[in-house]
Structure 1
Amino acid sequence: MTESTTINHRIRDNAERLAAALESHMLKSFAPDARKELRLFSAGEAADLLGISASFLRKLHFDGRILDVHTTPGGRRHYSAEDLLAIRHTLESTAKTPGTYLPGRREGDKVQVLSFLNFKGGSGKTTSSIHTAQRLALKGYRVLAVDIDPQASLTTLFGYRPEYDFLDSGTIYDAIRYDDPVPLQQIIQKTYFTGIDLAPAGLMLQEFEHETPQALINNVQPPFFARMATVLQEVEADYDVILFDCPPQLGYLTMSALCASTGVLITVVPNMLDVASMSQFLQMSADLLDVVGNAGAQMEFDFLRFLINRYEPNDGPQQQVVAFLRQLFGKEVMTAHMLKSTAVSDAGLTQQTVYEVERTQFHRNTYDRAIDSLNQVNEEIETLIQHAWGR
């Protein structure tokens, strides 16, 4: 047996053992064949999400304006995401100001398409994009999450197993491929999280990177940079916000997402190595965007922001890097930042987010700091979206 064959066998054996271990881990976390389910929310959490007081929420029940919800033997009410959405519709029907409880698009508003990206892996793109998608959905927005990373981490967090569920078909690749693409609606999946649909990813997405050079030679239309925007037009009426979780490389998939976007969020870990990498990323992005712009791509961003990720407030060098970035880019650096938190990493052990786990599962202060950080980031993103709609 040659050394190369031995290496192949070793890699394959490692892959199979890892897949089996991950399968075992998931079976311990979730029942066999079960899909993820979103937890219920307490009355306090529900009132906070709805933007009303807990006493007003109780009055809505007392007056019979909203349906009964799950109630414990002790009389505590718990609300599903579906309950919250139904209450939003009830409150919106009598609101003095349109959009108070359903803040999404109105007539004339364009769908907001946000790309979370960076050249470097581990910068928190997936963590940022899924927490933003979930927070916006809980606030009443209709969200489509589009996973364009062949590693499919976002798809996995929604409870799918890409290596089994979407091995040969069913990913966003099927909608943007050059040979016999399918309508995007056919591959969009409803998720366990009310308000969020998913266009999944899988390893087949890598084929888009391989096929595009030949498609450019053959002048296949629409070209790669317009394919994502073209397929999104088929479904954009169904959503207020569309989020791209981009791969950690500046390839054809990322460029296609950028050319479909109205807003860009560049995630940055505040250390000088990551900032130096980002410098290269920005230069390459500008050069490539020049090329596709000259080829006819329409790129009009409502906003571009740098999102500080995995921030440790007591880390002096990190503080210096953040100050350095703010001096360079001013208001393009988001005011809020995502803290580095064990709550985020611990939730990830069971493929969950901080919004999905119960507060009682963590040390109270740890959970509260993580939630506050995430909410501040997502409120700032929501403000950018509303401002793009002229509100």
Structure 2
Amino acid sequence: MAKGQVVLGPTGRPETIIPAPKPLAQHGPARIIAMCNQKGGVGKTTTTINLGAALARYGRRVLLVDFDPQGALSAGLGVQAHDVPTIYDLILGKEKDPQEVIQHTETKNLDVIPANIDLSAAEVHLVTEVAREQILAGVLRKVAADYDVILIDCQPSLGLLTVNALTASHGVLIPLACEFFALRGVALLIETVEKVRDRLNPQIEVDGIIATMYDSRTLHAREVLERVVDTFGDTVFDTVISRTVKLPDASVAAKSIFDYAPTNLASEAYLKLAREVVQRGVVA
């Protein structure tokens, strides 16, 4: 590279070096963020795990909330989710203290509230509850002071559970696979966020869109990413998560990418994303 030459990243913006975030003088209260996309298979759970683990490596106290009945986040970190209290027990009031449900992971500063298939029955039970959209918010308020960030891994739908997550959150991060069908649903999701802001949670905002599963070798992926940037501008993070077999392999091994393949490019990508998230003020 010639001196003074500007190198453009996948989003078409100049590549920049983002310094590691400074240690925090004190911890909490947490900023609550919903990881949300009603389209499945976009890397949402993978991004929740690895962004959370990256922030934990930078000294942030992180709580991950598995809010998907499939329990993929819990399984992806090797967290026991059967025959133990889960988020389902908390939102139904079977467990009153979230501290009794939180499980620690092998990663320092990274905790999880697990979920399992029982959560699939929650929407039926919540329908008749007073202020049913605000039940998760009440649960997370009890532990917010202990963490710097709480990431909620939402299920791939815009049902009552997802509305609960949006009502509890300060912001929304949207993982978006660089595929046409994934792109189509983003406008609907943003419209849902705006409805929640108008009716239930005036403070919520879209913190950003994270391009995932990017393959620079395909014209399709490059065109989708270009279209996303043209449409949403600076809402799209500069950091792009490329497709690699190491990410699903890490999930199968129940580890973060940092523990499974620390030298893989995906590891550096998620560290860079964590630095950008802090730089943008999404997380302290």
TM class, shorter-chain normalised? 0.7 to 0.9
Query: Are 2:219 and 1:304 equivalent residues in the alignment?
Result: no
Among 152, 161, 176, the residue aligned to 2:91 = 176
Cα displacement (A) at 1:248: 0.5
Contact 1:268–1:274 (Cα < 8 Å) also in 2 = yes
Runs of 4+ displaced beyond 6 Å = none
Task: Name the SS for the 2:135 alignment partner.
Answer: helix
Q: Give distance in 2, aligned partners of 1:251 and 1:152.
A: 17
In the alignment, residue 47 of structure 2 is paired with which amino acid? Answer: S
Higher helix residue share:
1
Alignment-derived partner of residue 165 in structure 1:
83
Shift of 1:158: 2.2
Partner in structure 2 of residue 144 of structure 1 = 63
Name 1:16's counterpart in structure 2. none
Q: Which has the higher contact order (CA 8 A, sep 6+)?
A: 2
Find the aligned partners of 2:264 and 2:180 in 1 and give their Cα distance.
29
Structure 1 CA distance for aligned equivalents of residues 72 and 247 of structure 2: 15
Match of 2:7 in 1: none
Classify 1:252/1:304 alpha carbon distance in 2 versus 1 (closer, same or farther; 3 Å). Answer: same
TM (normalized to structure 2)?
0.85
Bigger Rg, structure 1 or 2: 1
| Cα pair distance change 1:278/1:104, threshold 3 Å | farther
Paired residue for 2:164? 256
- In structure 2, what is the equivalent of residue 275 of structure 1? 183
Match of residue 349 from structure 1: 252
* Deviation, structure 1 residue 105: 4.7
2:275 aligns to what?
379
Contact 1:225 1:255 in 2 (8 A): yes
Query: What RMSD, in angstroms, separates the aligned Cα atoms of the two structures?
Result: 2.3
Deviations 1:338-380 (A, max 9, x none): 1101221232332222111255xxxxxxx44222222222211
Q: State how 1:6-21 maps to structure 2 within 5 Å.
A: none
Q: How many residues align?
A: 266
CA distance in 2, matches of 1:284, 1:239: 27
Distance 1:165 1:191 in 2: 18
2:274 partner amino acid: N
Displacement of 1:201 in angstroms is 0.6
User: Structure 2 CA distance, aligned partners of 1:316 and 1:247?
Assistant: 30
Secondary structure of the 2:168 match is coil
Between the aligned residues of both structures, percent identity stands at: 27
Q: Deviations over 1:173-194 (max 9, x none)?
A: 11111x5552222211122221
Gaps of 5+ in 2: 1-18
Match in the other structure for 1:205: 119
Q: Pick closer, same or farther for the CA change 1:103–1:314 going to 2, 3 Å.
A: farther
SS of equivalent residue, structure 1 residue 307: strand
Counting only pairs closer than 5 Å after superposition, residues 17-28 of structure 1 correspond to structure 2 as none
1:300 partner letter: Q
The 2-side partners of 1:104 and 1:134 are apart by 20
Could you tell me which residue of structure 2 aligns to residue 229 of structure 1? 137
